[in-house]
Structure 1
Amino acid sequence: MNGLYALKPWYADRLSGLRRALASRQVSPDALTAAGVVCAAGAAAALAWLPAPSAALPVAVLLAGRLAFANLDGALARDTGRTTRRGALLNELGDRAADLLVIAGLLPLAPLWLVGAAAFAATLPSWVSLAGAAAGAPRRNGGPVGKTERCLLAVVAAASGWAVPVLAVVAAGSAVTAVVRAVWVWRALGKPEAAVAAAAAVAIERTADGERGMATESDAATERAVASEKPVARVAEPASPATGRRPAPAPSPRPSPLPPKPARRGLPLDTGEVSGGITHTRSQSPADHGTQLRGTR
């Protein structure tokens, strides 16, 4: 159940021209993340200070910019080869700050406890997704009440002034979304390793235009391969009861040298010729018996 998150690829295609323009001007992805937080703060100010329905238009425009910057920062980082771990951290912190700022904009229109409950519940789906990714499951996004749905509900509150019902829907829907993601992550972690790797590859391909700083499939495979290695247990030698020391390991047996070849019986040999440091022997005839011939060539 992806909800409005299913429209993300279509939205990313609409922003492709702007992404190329930003890349050509070497705009920092971190600047886009910060711009998304600024848009969320502006929407919160419009919710708090402008009456309904006058707040609807500025809130809608600012939250559309907040979603656009959330999409562009990760895509721009990948297109320009500037994906970093710090960028991934900044992206997550920026998303959480933007969500909390928009909900805080409804403080003048609703009880404090309800605003606090909605703010807490709005963070739960992301924590579940991050915990699943840390355990080795693919990153899970989407609804039924995800980031995009929460922005749409804020626009409804700005147009109607129904802050209390909107906050109740945000709180309940975010809790349900967290449960749905937790069940999905639990099932993904229970699959065989090959199935998890295949699902991770599909998830990375589908979110190649959105999330920032995600690990590649080879990184995930490397981490799982290292984690699956088991140390080989070594059996210790029993200690001697008399000395309390372990006996020294016995030396490995060495092959015994070959026995010398027995002298050939028959005619005596003559060490007659020496060539290149090698002595060549030949048999002596009975006529030469008893006579030693030595020479060097």
Structure 2
Amino acid sequence: MRGLYALKPWYTNRLASVLRFAVARDVSPDVFTAVGVVSALGAGVAIAFGSWIIALVLLAGRLAGANLDGAVARAQGVSRPWGFVLNELGDRAGDLAMFAGLAVLAARTDSLDWGTGWVLVAAVCATLPTFASLSGAGAGAQRLNGGPFGKTERCAAVVVATVVPAWIPVISVVIVVGSLVTTALRLRSIHRVLSTAPAGPASTSAGTP
């Protein structure tokens, strides 16, 4: 179940002209990582003030940056481990900015503060699918992305919550449940892959005596 992540190739194709320009001008993939982060920061501010149209445009920019950094790196043949690190840090910063803006909007519009509390819970749960994927990648499995409730779904949910702030608690619950289900499905896939992989050296994560 890939969710809206299945649309990534389609979205990347819409950005083909930008990709060709970046390759022709030898633009660093890190530029697009930075564009994604800056767009997410701007979206966080827009969300905090309830400007959902601006938030929608900037979150689309965030997703564009996240799509293009990897696409440009592959097209230029410069994929590198440090680029992976920057991409992951950029994604986490983008999520943090988005949920921070939603928490501010909830605090401004929810007299009972239920929305703010649920946004904070949702922000924590939204990190779990990534933790599962990175843990699996560290153990030798493929880095998993997508749904049923991944980054694209989180962006869409936050935009809806910005349009109708009264729905923030309900949408936050949806994010919590969706994130937990996604985490469970990713862990199941990772377990299936790792359980059939050849045994490697014993882990030394516990330290040396």
- Per the shorter chain, which TM-score range? 0.7 to 0.9
- Work out whether residues 119 and 168 of structure 2, in 8 Å CA contact, stay in contact via their aligned partners in 1: no
One-letter identity of the residue aligned with 1:180: L
Q: What is the aligned partner in structure 1 of residue 88 from structure 2?
A: 92
Cα offsets for 1:243-293 (capped at 9, x unmatched): xxxxxxxxxxxxxxxxxxxxxxxxxxxxxxxxxxxxxxxxxxxxxxxxxxx
- Work out whether residues 40 and 95 of structure 2, in 8 Å CA contact, stay in contact via their aligned partners in 1: yes
Decide which structure has greater strand share.
1
The yes-or-no answer on 1:158 pairing with 2:154 is: no
Q: Deviation above 4 Å: which 4+ runs of structure 1?
A: none
| Structure 2 CA distance for aligned equivalents of residues 58 and 164 of structure 1 | 22
SS of residue in 1 equivalent to 2:26 = coil
TM-score (norm 2): 0.86
One-letter identity of the residue aligned with 2:122: A
Compute the displacement of 1:81 (Å). Answer: 2.1
Q: What is the aligned partner in structure 1 of residue 206 from structure 2?
A: none
- Work out whether residues 102 and 162 of structure 2, in 8 Å CA contact, stay in contact via their aligned partners in 1: no
Compute the displacement of 1:13 (Å). Answer: 1.7
5 Å-filtered alignment, 1:130-169, equals 130-161=134-165, 162-169=167-174
One-letter identity of the residue aligned with 1:34: A
| Structure 2 CA distance for aligned equivalents of residues 85 and 29 of structure 1 | 13
Structure showing greater relative contact order (alpha-carbon pairs closer than 8 Å, 6 or more residues apart): 2
| Structure 2 CA distance for aligned equivalents of residues 132 and 89 of structure 1 | 15
Q: What is the aligned partner in structure 2 of residue 80 from structure 1?
A: 76
Q: What is the aligned partner in structure 1 of residue 100 from structure 2?
A: 104
One-letter identity of the residue aligned with 2:154: R
Compute the displacement of 1:82 (Å). Answer: 2.0
Cα offsets for 1:168-205 (capped at 9, x unmatched): 21122111111111111111112254xxxxxxxxxxxx
Correspondent of 1:173 among 175, 178, 186:
178
Q: What is the aligned partner in structure 2 of residue 23 from structure 1?
A: 23
SS of residue in 1 equivalent to 2:131 = helix
Q: What is the aligned partner in structure 1 of residue 11 from structure 2?
A: 11
Correspondent of 1:190 among 187, 195, 206:
195
Decide which structure has greater helix share.
2
Q: What is the aligned partner in structure 2 of residue 118 from structure 1?
A: 122
**Which sections of structure 1, spanning at least 5 residues, go unmatched?**
194-223, 229-297
5 Å-filtered alignment, 1:210-229, equals 227=200
SS of residue in 2 equivalent to 1:106 = helix
SS of residue in 1 equivalent to 2:145 = coil
SS of residue in 1 equivalent to 2:78 = coil
Cα offsets for 1:208-266 (capped at 9, x unmatched): xxxxxxxxxxxxxxxx8xx46xxxxxxxxxxxxxxxxxxxxxxxxxxxxxxxxxxxxxx
| Structure 2 CA distance for aligned equivalents of residues 138 and 166 of structure 1 | 30
Query: Which segment drifts farther, 174-183 or 108-117?
Result: 108-117
Residues matched between the structures, number: 192
- Work out whether residues 47 and 162 of structure 2, in 8 Å CA contact, stay in contact via their aligned partners in 1: yes
